[in-house]
Amino acid sequence: MKLMIKIACALTLLILSPLSFAKGVVVDDPYARAIPPGQTISAAFMTLVNGSDKNIDLVKASSDSAKNVELHEHIHEDGMMKMRQVPKISIAANGKTELKPGGYHIMLIDLVKHIKPQDIVTINLEFSDGSKQEIKADVRKIMMGMMKKKMSMMKFKQHVNPMPNLLAVYKKMSDKLDLSDDQKSKLDAGIKVRSPKIKELYGDVKSLEKELHEITLKGEPLNKIDQVSDRLMQARLAIIEGKTDCRESIKKVLSDKQFQQLVKLYRANMMPTFNKDKEKAAMAMMKHTNPMPNLMRVIVKKGDQLNLTEKQAAELKKWREERKPISKKVSQTIAKLEADLLEAALNNAPIAKINELADGITQNRVKIIRTKAMCRDNMKRILDDKQYKKVLAIHNEKHNKTMH
């Protein structure tokens, strides 16, 4: 009898809430942006998946967490990112539409209470097919689209250039330097000449690292990897050289006192910040020092998909345990040398000292690339063809996902 009641209740619930088995749109991973205290506007994001063979529009959103809820999109206008209200957000038949920072979003205006990470915001969605859904968006800390872009550019610059960016101090706080017009125009002229060259070198590093990654996966031999690695080091060295040159010419234009002030401002405002989370910092450092694909990670994380024999598993484990501390140490050495280089450049060390440190960095960077290339070959030796191909497939799937 009890069971009957339960079933009856379940049926009533199903009939009362057609949303629970709505065939139309499925909402995936809804979340809202955490906001700083005092702010009353936030936004919600999610992926809308349309499982039907008709186009469906999201036509309305509401929430008891905000007095006013609007559908928005981001657009580029006059070189600026702007957002504006839209009457609907379409989801193509059997397709999906992603609401994400910098794109479509649901704007939560006049929040009735402060929302912070780990809170839940309930949002009601209405679709053009007449269906309605209540979703629970968890509140997360996320960066704005532009901010994210800027941050990733900054990270990339730190990745390529271990030298202090002294000209940034001039660009951002020249009022604190007390420069004459003549000095300013000389610095401006220097920037105009140098900046495109450095930018080009940044681009070279980016494309060479990509090439290195790709040819390693393609199975190119060690000597080919060495060649690309060599070109990569040339580009990296050219950046350090260019930046050293830049420091020298700034010194020529500024008085000693002004230069000291410039260094002081740099130290106070622009020293690169490293991650406080230790594990994340270590991961970031590995990425910073190693442009090669991390195939060993596939073995560690997805080894169960590879049908490894006991012997293979043991061999891989042994190799990994031997190598891991070595890679880690080389990576730490690079980090240390780069920190030394930054200090040397700021402390007005002679060019010979800078070159010495730059050489040390280069040698260790080459060492990491070599080690990783050999790691690939050793893995190929231990695994059979099919298994190795599977490793590549898993790696590529993961890599392509994180690249987008």
- Residues in the site for Cu ion, rule: CB under 5 A? 72, 83, 107
* Shorter beta-carbon distance to Cu ion: residue 84 or 301: 84
* Shorter beta-carbon distance to Cu ion: residue 40 or 249: 40
Q: Are 212 and 369 in contact (CB under 8 A)?
A: yes
The number of angstroms, rounded, from the C-alpha of 353 to the middle of its chain's C-alpha atoms is 33
* Shorter beta-carbon distance to Cu ion: residue 59 or 107: 107
Query: Phi/psi of residue 287, each to 5°?
Result: -65, -40
* Shorter beta-carbon distance to Cu ion: residue 10 or 147: 147
* Shorter beta-carbon distance to Cu ion: residue 51 or 145: 145
Q: Which residues pair with 66 in a beta bridge?
A: 111
Query: Phi/psi of residue 238, each to 5°?
Result: -65, -35
Collapsed DSSP state (helix, strand, coil) of residue 33: strand
Q: How far is the CB of 380 from Cu ion (least distance, A)?
A: 50
* Shorter beta-carbon distance to Cu ion: residue 49 or 83: 83
* Shorter beta-carbon distance to Cu ion: residue 107 or 120: 107
Q: How far is the CB of 107 from Cu ion (least distance, A)?
A: 4
In 3D space, the residue among 134, 132, 70, 139 whose CA is nearest the CA of residue 105 turns out to be 70
Q: Write the single-letter amino acid at 29.
A: D
* Shorter beta-carbon distance to Cu ion: residue 44 or 228: 44
Q: How far is the CB of 43 from Cu ion (least distance, A)?
A: 6
355 to each of 336, 375, 398, how far by Cα in Å? 15, 30, 38
Q: How far is the CB of 65 from Cu ion (least distance, A)?
A: 16
d(CA 309, CA 392): 19
Q: What does 244-259 look like in DSSP terms, one character per residue? A: HHHHHHHHHHS-HHHH
Collapsed DSSP state (helix, strand, coil) of residue 25: strand
Longest dimension (CA), the chain: 95
Query: Phi/psi of residue 143, each to 5°?
Result: -95, 150
Q: How far is the CB of 262 from Cu ion (least distance, A)?
A: 40
Q: How far is the CB of 37 from Cu ion (least distance, A)?
A: 20
Q: How far is the CB of 70 from Cu ion (least distance, A)?
A: 7
Q: Which residues pair with 45 in a beta bridge?
A: 31
Q: Are 247 and 350 in contact (CB under 8 A)?
A: no
* Shorter beta-carbon distance to Cu ion: residue 81 or 189: 81
The residue behind tokens 């442009």 is 291
CA end-to-end distance (rounded Å), the chain: 54
The number of angstroms, rounded, from the C-alpha of 57 to the middle of its chain's C-alpha atoms is 31
Q: How far is the CB of 71 from Cu ion (least distance, A)?
A: 9
Side-chain-side CA neighbours of 392 within 13 Å: the count stands at: 18
Q: How far is the CB of 79 from Cu ion (least distance, A)?
A: 19
C-beta nearest to Cu ion: residue:
72
